[in-house]
Structure 1
């Protein structure tokens, strides 16, 4: 089933700043789903899932958070935090006129979704969380991202060199996930350092007590053999959230290379979250037609 796709933008205004954020809409209607990318990755990583959800009648939006993808990339570390990212998603909902949405994402996007649920619980219809980064991932996260921060701060020519090599590659000529990797490598050293610094020295996620207070239904997806996103964190989160179910992926690559099983689970979950409202909408359309 073909669905409409539209690119949009909105602006965040603050003290002496005005930042542009870009997003893509898939489908239409009032059953909103917002998907958030992983750290340093573009929103396009969620294109396959967004299309699958929209084909089932959901109105899906993927967004590039500040410092990512095609959105603005200021070089000030103070502009980046999980809380700030959560506020950006809420600002997106305001811009779209969406009272509620199923909010979800991968890795960074998973943690941002939790922030949204804490900041504005009334706006969250459900949570679709893959690979949350919580207590069990601290050491691996330091090992993974400290070298990136060091390279961007003290050897910016390495980041510029990678960008110079990868940016000219036509994305349409390479496999989809190869293109996502190339887009992720398309970084500017100053902005990349600011993003990593801001997240590195800020809080990773809402506290356990705050997570236990999230009442929205949740689908939590974890997978084994990934130290940065350990399955223990996903299982722990599923145990903390009062209305969560846990799905274990076979590997970190399953949703990338063989997505059918997990996509079915995500579609079913989002439809459940919006089921009552969608049935009411269908009844209203039917009565109008008569």
Structure 2
């Protein structure tokens, strides 16, 4: 994978397709490949006439993996996204974020609205403001000697996922300490770009999408039918809703 530099870290990225850029920002313990390529998102975006841009967050995938929690505040992870856009010469893109990636997308849309045409917050509801209540349990699960010792369901879920993806669990624990920093409610109200909030119908981690969408000046909501947090990512109805939203707010100009 090609690499770019940000804040002294080497980070991996990939691009596919031509047309307006969509920066895909993956979730916690995932990677650009797992979140966006393996689920068919990149193929979907390219087929709709977009340039799909994926990257591995610091601490994830093929990127550098610091163990210092200070490296993982959303503002610092947001800087990586800006560095990638600068590296690629992309001035104005849409954002597609999932879970932690949606939090990073929210900070990016707030701090750099001139770079963002529209944003999709997948798997992130009022936890954007309230924070993640299971965070300490997830950290303990990542650092536990054995999976068999874990009883907390969310901790088990993320430990299994981290082991499945061959992740650096200490880097992920450091990331979880600070990446869940809440965004101030007043700042959410000042995100001026169009935003689609899309959450699985049975996603107990993110909660319903409507309350967050109502706070956003140009927010819309979409419920992904019968999906929980882990299974909503590649859902076909989620993709269809995202393409319809992008078609209105950031069209690719490709003829049907």
2:57 alignment partner, one of 51, 65, 78: 65
Any conservation in 2 of the 1:69–1:183 contact (CA below 8 Å)?
A: no
Describe the shift of the 1:151–1:267 C-alpha distance in structure 2 as closer, same or farther (beyond 3 A): closer
1:208: Cα distance to partner? 1.5
Task: Indicate conservation of the 8 Å contact 2:129/2:185, yes or no.
Answer: no
Alpha-carbon offset, residue 62 of structure 1:
1.2
Residue 261 to residue 190, structure 1, CA distance change in 2 (3 Å): closer
Name 2:101's counterpart in structure 1: 109
Paired with 1:270 and 1:96, the residues of 2 have a C-alpha distance of: 21
1:14-93 to structure 2, matched below 5 A, reads 18-29=8-19, 31-44=20-33, 45-47=35-37, 48-93=40-85
Q: Superposition RMSD on alpha carbons, in Å?
A: 2.6
8 Å Cα contact 1:128-1:266 kept in structure 2: yes
Alpha-carbon shift at residue 135 of structure 1 (Å): 4.4
Distance 1:121 1:107 in 2: 20
For CA contacts below 8 A with separation 6 or more, give which structure has more relative contact order.
2
Q: Which has the higher helix share?
A: 1
Structure 1 residue 142 corresponds to structure 2 residue 119: no
**Is 1:215 matched up with 2:209?**
no
Is contact 1:35–1:61 with CA below 8 Å preserved after alignment? yes
- 5 Å-filtered alignment, 1:1-290, equals 7-13=1-7, 18-29=8-19, 31-44=20-33, 45-47=35-37, 48-135=40-127, 141-143=132-134, 145-153=135-143, 155=144, 157-158=145-146, 181=161, 185-199=165-179, 203-204=181-182, 206-231=183-208, 234-253=209-228, 255-256=232-233, 259-275=235-251, 278-279=252-253
Deviation at 1:138, TM superposition (A): 5.0
What's the CA shift for 1:118?
Answer: 1.1
Give the count of matched residue pairs.
238
Unaligned runs of 5+ in 2: 148-159
TM-score by length of 1: 0.74
Provide Cα deviations, 1:213-270, integer angstroms capped at 9, x if missing partner. Answer: 1111111112333221111xx212211112222111113256456x332212211222
Question: What is the CA deviation profile of residues 75-105 of structure 1, one whole-angstrom value per residue up to 9, with x for unaligned ones?
Answer: 1111111111111111111111000110121
Equivalent position SS for 1:142: coil
Shift of 1:152: 4.3
CA distance in 2, matches of 1:43, 1:11: 17
Alpha-carbon distance between aligned partners in 2 of 1:138 and 1:241, rounded to the nearest angstrom:
15
Larger radius of gyration: 1
